[in-house]
Amino acid sequence: MESKNKKTPAKLHVRSGDTVKVISGNAKGETGVIKKIIVEKLRATVEGVNMITKHVKPNAQNPQGSIEKLEGPIHISNLMVVDPKTGETSRTGRKANDKGKLQRFAKKSGNFL
């Protein structure tokens, strides 16, 4: 039996594949494309942003071990969507398109995302 207190995830202002700009933190000002979103923790992995170093233990395939550079997750409140048509950051909203379906749009320019 499922728990009654289970929260459903809220709609987020970012999605996988969006181009975003980091607005605060160590990576402030950097832009990149979202690779993955972790909904439970409200974090996103952005391509080329917030690079961390991971030490990998030796194993059968890699007997020497290695040090890898990976993107670390960033909280989505520190990300702002970049409008693909204008190239500027903008807040997002949702409104009906021509067919009556709700779609995200950039509040600054009014363009659908």
**Tokens linked to 55:** 């030490």
Q: Where are the domains of the chain?
A: 19-82, 85-113
> Which CATH number among 3.40.50.720, 1.10.630.10, 3.40.50.300, 2.30.30.30 corresponds to the domain 19-82?
2.30.30.30
DSSP state of 77: G
Number of helical H runs and strand E runs in the chain: 0, 9
- Residues 47-89: tens digit of each pLDDT: 999 999 999 999 999 999 999 999 999 999 999 999 988 889 9
Q: What is the pTM of this model?
A: 0.78
